Amino acid sequence: MPERYRDLTPMDTPATPVLVGGTVLFAVALVVVLLAGGPVTWRWICLCGIALGLIGIPLARRMQRSGS
Protein backbone atom coordinates (compact mmCIF):
# COMPACT_ATOMS: atom_id res chain seq x y z
CA MET A 1 0.00 0.00 0.00
CA PRO A 2 1.41 3.42 -0.89
CA GLU A 3 2.50 5.60 2.02
CA ARG A 4 -0.07 8.32 1.32
CA TYR A 5 -2.97 5.90 1.98
CA ARG A 6 -1.78 4.58 5.34
CA ASP A 7 -3.27 7.47 7.36
CA LEU A 8 -6.72 7.33 5.78
CA THR A 9 -9.59 6.21 7.97
CA PRO A 10 -12.95 4.89 6.75
CA MET A 11 -15.69 7.47 6.37
CA ASP A 12 -18.63 7.18 8.73
CA THR A 13 -21.30 8.00 6.16
CA PRO A 14 -24.92 7.20 6.96
CA ALA A 15 -26.31 4.72 4.43
CA THR A 16 -29.97 5.64 4.78
CA PRO A 17 -29.92 8.78 2.58
CA VAL A 18 -28.02 6.89 -0.11
CA LEU A 19 -30.53 4.04 -0.05
CA VAL A 20 -33.52 6.39 -0.10
CA GLY A 21 -32.04 8.34 -3.01
CA GLY A 22 -31.31 5.17 -4.97
CA THR A 23 -34.80 3.81 -4.34
CA VAL A 24 -36.38 7.07 -5.50
CA LEU A 25 -34.22 7.08 -8.63
CA PHE A 26 -35.29 3.51 -9.44
CA ALA A 27 -38.94 4.55 -8.97
CA VAL A 28 -38.46 7.49 -11.34
CA ALA A 29 -36.74 5.20 -13.84
CA LEU A 30 -39.66 2.78 -13.62
CA VAL A 31 -42.14 5.55 -14.43
CA VAL A 32 -40.01 6.65 -17.39
CA VAL A 33 -39.69 3.08 -18.68
CA LEU A 34 -43.44 2.51 -18.34
CA LEU A 35 -44.31 5.76 -20.11
CA ALA A 36 -41.77 5.18 -22.87
CA GLY A 37 -42.81 1.58 -23.40
CA GLY A 38 -39.38 0.22 -22.60
CA PRO A 39 -38.40 -3.45 -22.59
CA VAL A 40 -39.87 -5.73 -19.95
CA THR A 41 -36.37 -6.47 -18.67
CA TRP A 42 -35.86 -2.82 -17.73
CA ARG A 43 -39.13 -2.85 -15.81
CA TRP A 44 -37.97 -5.82 -13.77
CA ILE A 45 -34.61 -4.17 -13.11
CA CYS A 46 -36.37 -1.08 -11.76
CA LEU A 47 -38.73 -3.17 -9.64
CA CYS A 48 -35.84 -5.16 -8.19
CA GLY A 49 -33.97 -1.94 -7.39
CA ILE A 50 -37.02 -0.57 -5.59
CA ALA A 51 -37.54 -3.84 -3.68
CA LEU A 52 -33.91 -4.06 -2.59
CA GLY A 53 -33.96 -0.42 -1.52
CA LEU A 54 -37.11 -0.98 0.55
CA ILE A 55 -35.43 -3.96 2.21
CA GLY A 56 -32.17 -2.08 2.78
CA ILE A 57 -33.59 1.12 4.30
CA PRO A 58 -34.89 -0.48 7.53
CA LEU A 59 -31.75 -2.58 7.83
CA ALA A 60 -29.53 0.49 7.50
CA ARG A 61 -31.60 2.37 10.08
CA ARG A 62 -31.38 -0.57 12.49
CA MET A 63 -27.60 -0.78 12.06
CA GLN A 64 -27.26 2.97 12.54
CA ARG A 65 -29.29 2.84 15.78
CA SER A 66 -27.27 -0.07 17.12
CA GLY A 67 -24.02 1.77 16.44
CA SER A 68 -22.58 -0.77 14.01
DSSP characters for 23-57? HHHHHHHHHHHHHHT--HHHHHHHHHHHHHHHHHH
Average pLDDT of span 2-15: 76
Q: Kindly indicate the confidence band of residue 68, based on its pLDDT and cuts at 50, 70 and 90.
A: low
Predicted local distance difference test score (pLDDT) of residue 67: 73
Q: What is the mean pLDDT of residues 11-25?
A: 91
Q: How far apart are CA 26 and CA 39, in angstroms?
A: 15
Please state, rounded to an integer, the average pLDDT across all residues of the chain. Answer: 90
Residue 52 reports pLDDT greater than 80 = yes
Mean pLDDT to the nearest integer, 17-36? 97
Encoded amino acid at 1, one letter: M
